[in-house]
Amino acid sequence: MTAQSRGESWSATVLTLFPEMFPGPLGHSLAGKALKNGLWRLETVDIRDFARDKHRSVDDAPFGGGPGMVMRADILAGALDHVRSGLAPRVAGRVLYLSPRGRRLDQALARELAGQDGLVLICGRFEGVDQRALTGRGIEEVSVGDYVLSGGETAALVLLDAVVRLLPGVIGDAAALEEESFAQGLLEYPQFTRPQIWEGQEVPAVLTSGHHEKIRAWRLAQAEALTRERRPDLWERYLRSTKSRG
Ligand code: 9WO
């Protein structure tokens, strides 16, 4: 049973020092429309609300020295324990920390996360969070790519965009999702629209031929050629999966 099949909506709870960054760009996408329509829920929790001193500090200098500041384990765990106590256990199940050290987000992980009842996302700032909070609360780390950002928020927005569009009903046309080359492990084929000639470049004739089977075959061949040239890693995996499918 999933949240969706029980008629509850998939929920994201985001712990951050910058709640005003959400939904941000997601409000301008299909995900934003789906949020308005109640297909998923977004809640932000300001980690600073769990600071206990009069300066509301959430960070401190790293033990062992070094630059910058580290988010305190007690403050972060306090915020996390508070939000999980208010969530149904299954919704509170999976807690992810956005970090370049984590499991790389790909379409398979996005599908897996869309199949949960919801997620709790933790966005770090400074030079990171005290390791004991991650260890002590069994927090999973997820990366959106091999680069360093100034905080986990933009990574959380990327993750949510990838996951929410996979929720039932978010993309009206389920066939559109299936059709995506990436769903089959290929890069997208090239697209064309009017005008038919632009700066001397013509639209490939097959696309205006009206032969639907030829169009399908041409697009598949284009997607395969692009994948083989640009992403040998995806190409190898695709060859193995199409061989095993026969
Ligand atoms: C900065 C830094 C400076 C000196 C010594 C060690 C240091 N570590 C970091 C660091 O990792 N900063 C992170 C910034 C802390 C957590 C939030 N930040 C973050 C998340 N940057 N990049 C991500 C991220 C998340 C998911 N996928 C890709 C990148």
Q: Tell which atom from ligand 1 comes closest to the C-alpha of 126.
A: 15
Residue 129 CA to ligand 1 centre (angstroms): 9
pLDDT given at position 246: 62
pLDDT given at position 89: 82
**End-to-end Cα, the chain, rounded Å:** 32
Which segments of 116-194 are extended strands (E)?
A: 118-122, 140-143
Q: If you count DSSP H runs as helices and E runs as strands, how many of each does the chain have, helices first?
A: 8, 9
Given a contact cutoff of 8 angstroms between Cβ atoms, the answer to whether 161 and 110 are in contact is: no
Compute the radius of gyration of the chain from its Cα atoms: 22
CA 62 from centroid of its chain's CA atoms: 30
pLDDT given at position 175: 66
DSSP 143: E
Given a contact cutoff of 8 angstroms between Cβ atoms, the answer to whether 106 and 81 are in contact is: no
Residue 153 CA to ligand 1 centre (angstroms): 11
Average pLDDT score, the chain: 94
For 44-75, the pLDDT digits (tens) are 999 999 999 999 999 999 999 999 999 999 99
Task: Kindly give, in sequence order, each residue whose CB lies less than 8 Å from that of residue 10, ignoring residues fewer than 6 positions away.
Answer: 3, 4, 39, 40, 41, 114, 116, 117, 118, 164, 167
Our answer on whether the CB atom of 149 is closer than 6 Å to any ligand 1 atom is: yes
For 137-181, the pLDDT digits (tens) are 999 999 999 999 999 999 999 999 999 999 999 997 766 776 677
Question: Could you say which architecture CATH assigns to the domain 10-164?
Answer: 3-Layer(aba) Sandwich (3.40)
Q: Tell which atom from ligand 1 comes closest to the C-alpha of 99.
A: 25
Every domain of the chain and the residues it spans: 10-164, 179-245
Rounded to whole angstroms, how far apart are CA atoms 62 and 71?
Answer: 9
Q: Tell which atom from ligand 1 comes closest to the C-alpha of 105.
A: 27
pLDDT given at position 3: 67
For 207-228, the pLDDT digits (tens) are 999 999 999 999 999 999 999 9
Q: Which fold has domain 179-245?
A: Trp Operon Repressor; Chain A (1.10.1270)
pLDDT given at position 244: 86
Closest CA to 163 of 39, 43, 36, 16: 39
Q: Tell which atom from ligand 1 comes closest to the C-alpha of 144.
A: 27
Residue 37 CA to ligand 1 centre (angstroms): 34
Our answer on whether the CB atom of 185 is closer than 6 Å to any ligand 1 atom is: no
